[in-house]
Amino acid sequence: MISFAAEFGATAVLVPSQVLERPHDTMPVRNLDRRSFLRAGATAAAGLALCGTGRAQQSDLLKSYLADLDGNGVVDAADLAIARQASFTARGFSIAPNVGYDFRADVFGRGEVDQSSVDAVAAAVTASQAGGLPMEPRPITVAWHYPWYDLLQRPFLEQTVRYLGGDYLSNDPVIETEFNELKNELGITVDAVSWIPRRITPTILPNIDAGYFSATNLATRYFSLLYENTIALPLTGGRIDFRDLRVAELLVADFVAMAETFIEARDRHPSRIFLLDGRPVIFIFGSHSWGLNATDEIEFSRMADVVAQARDAFTRVYGTQPYLVGDELLSLASTTEPPSHRVSRTLNFEAVFSYHAANLKVDAEAFEMNEAYAALQRSRLVRATEAVRPLRNRHTNTRVIIIPSLAGGFAKHALPILSASRAAYADYLSLLSRYYEETYLAEEWPGLIGTPAIPAPVYTVGSWNEEFEGHCVFPSSFNLALADEVQGGFDWGLALRQRFGWNHYATRDILT
């Protein structure tokens, strides 16, 4: 077996990993994950009957962005022509679809286009012509994209899913081109590319250049960053101590280097930068690990000063401030009145998200993504809404917005498995997105959808290609988090496709 140390060319140093998977006011989890190591160095026919929510959707009028098959922002006869042309075709569950299949017409995410698909588009066109179909912007979906794969074969025991096309290298532009085609088909808009400085993992940024930035269809993608600060910055007892001068120096240096990465994406390559409020977006993994002592107000004041320095350094290089999204949602959702240290930390960010929806305990048994689980996640959003409502970013004075996580499962070794069927995941997506769009955004941010501040509802959907997390969206040959596979390893992706449609933003810009 190939060890992680061998894979990444370094001697593995075991680092406490409780900061990576849960809020930090709880007992530590004793597992060791890939980040700890990186810090040192059936058939379609059988599946259709089991897809659940997809068939129920037939009786409802399609969302405008589902019926807009050509992605031009209008539902009309051209869309119906696409559906009719693709009638009675099936995708097949190889990486490349069957000849004649047009994924744009697969409005139910089943991997086939049948008469019910054509009828649904026809009904939407008729409603649109009569003024009875609300035109809504297609939601923006963000997936984590990891460029740290340096060997073709993953260590088996550290693999919770496997790419349907086989193992892959992050510096292979052919694979990245293939990934982009699949992301656009399955409806993923934005790549949050994992960013680790060269001083920690020297191969990551060269891999991005040789692989991700070299894909022939890079122009179809929106680019953001996922800052792996729990790898990049010194840890003290599993947390980041902002009284440590090294933390300040390294954070500022990393923000400068991330600005340079954004400039490369913007000026040297055809990738498009994902902007919110006109600023490039940085998701920060595990920011809830910031602050060694929750009662030390001096440290949290120091934290605010250091973040301000980092933001200013980024601005001097890139030209605008970054839009920071902190990994704080689960911390804030633990109560409607979160402790002052959590609030103080959150005020450094424009938005909050959760890397994982689940907050799994080490002594719990396996979880199932069922109605009770979905209700729990919805209640967390409700609590977070109340907790975030009065908060304003201390650096920009803008309100803090929630970006929900829709990650589909969790199957890390030595932790309980969160498993879900394709149908259960589709229902989960529907429940959380309905609350977010119809209640949270409508009531908390009225009139702002379609503006630079909120161009469309934004969701994180988990990992695109990080196998070890267990909730990969990419088509897989096995996935421990996926119960009762019915769509050839495309189950997570086609469920997202069913809810959000294909990625229209591959061919047109966000906000147009």
Output DSSP code: residue 27.
P
The model's confidence at residue 414, banded by pLDDT at 50, 70 and 90, is confident
Q: What is the CATH number of the domain that holds 375?
A: 3.20.20.80
User: What sign does the CA torsion over 301, 302, 304, 308 have?
Assistant: positive
Furthest-apart CA atoms within the chain: distance in Å: 66
Give the per-residue pLDDT at 4. Answer: 25
Q: Tell me: do 258 and 195 sit in the same domain.
A: yes
Judged by average pLDDT, the poorest of 11-15, 107-111, 316-320 is: 11-15
Three-class DSSP category at 40: coil
Contact 55, 491 (CB under 8 A): no
Rg, the chain, Cα only:
22
Judged by average pLDDT, the poorest of 85-94, 207-216, 319-328, 409-418 is: 409-418
Q: Tell me: do 251 and 168 sit in the same domain.
A: yes
Q: Tell me: do 213 and 116 sit in the same domain.
A: no
Give the per-residue pLDDT at 9. Answer: 29
DSSP code per residue over 145-198: E-----SSS--GGG-SEEETT----TT-HHHHHHHHHHHHHHT--EEEEEE--T
Give the per-residue pLDDT at 360. Answer: 67
Q: Tell me: do 210 and 313 sit in the same domain.
A: yes
The residue ranking higher by pLDDT, 38 or 410, is 410
Give the per-residue pLDDT at 231. Answer: 96
In a domain, 269, yes or no: yes
In a domain, 2, yes or no: no
Cα 53 to the chain's mean position, in Å?
A: 22
In a domain, 66, yes or no: yes
Output DSSP code: residue 10.
S
Q: Tell me: do 121 and 245 sit in the same domain.
A: no
Q: Tell me: do 103 and 145 sit in the same domain.
A: no
| Residue owning tokens 């109605």 | 371
Contact 420, 428 (CB under 8 A): yes
Say what the pTM is: 0.89
Q: What is the pLDDT of residues 253-269, one digit of tens each?
A: 999 999 999 999 999 99
The model's confidence at residue 464, banded by pLDDT at 50, 70 and 90, is very high
Domain span at residue 219 reads 136-506
Three-class DSSP category at 288: helix
**φ/ψ bin of 470: left (φ > 0), alpha (ψ from -120 to 50), beta (otherwise):** left
Give the per-residue pLDDT at 512. Answer: 59
Q: Tell me: do 369 and 457 sit in the same domain.
A: yes
What is the average pLDDT across 102-107? 98
Last residue of a domain, which of 129, 148, 167? 129
Look at residue 473 and tell me whether its pLDDT is greater than 60. yes
The residue ranking higher by pLDDT, 122 or 48, is 122
Give the per-residue pLDDT at 27. Answer: 30
Q: Tell me: do 95 and 244 sit in the same domain.
A: no
| Residue owning tokens 């503006």 | 451
In a domain, 116, yes or no: yes
Q: Tell me: do 174 and 125 sit in the same domain.
A: no
Give the per-residue pLDDT at 410. Answer: 85
Q: What is the pLDDT of residues 335-383, one digit of tens each?
A: 878 999 999 999 999 999 998 877 666 566 678 888 988 998 999 999 9
Look at residue 431 and tell me whether its pLDDT is greater than 80. yes
Q: What is the pLDDT of residues 184-235, one digit of tens each?
A: 999 999 999 999 999 999 999 999 999 999 999 999 999 999 999 999 999 9
When divided into structural domains, the chain yields a total of: 2
Last residue of a domain, which of 63, 98, 129? 129
Q: Tell me: do 355 and 393 sit in the same domain.
A: yes
In a domain, 225, yes or no: yes
Give the per-residue pLDDT at 25. Answer: 34
Phi, psi values for residue 378, rounded to 5°: -65, -40
What is the average pLDDT across 169-198? 98
Average pLDDT, rounded, for the chain: 88
Residue 221: both structure tokens together:
């993608």
Last residue of a domain, which of 81, 96, 129? 129
The model's confidence at residue 127, banded by pLDDT at 50, 70 and 90, is very high
Q: Tell me: do 201 and 287 sit in the same domain.
A: yes
What is the average pLDDT across 232-248? 96
The C-alpha atoms of residue 216 and residue 212 are separated, in whole angstroms, by 9
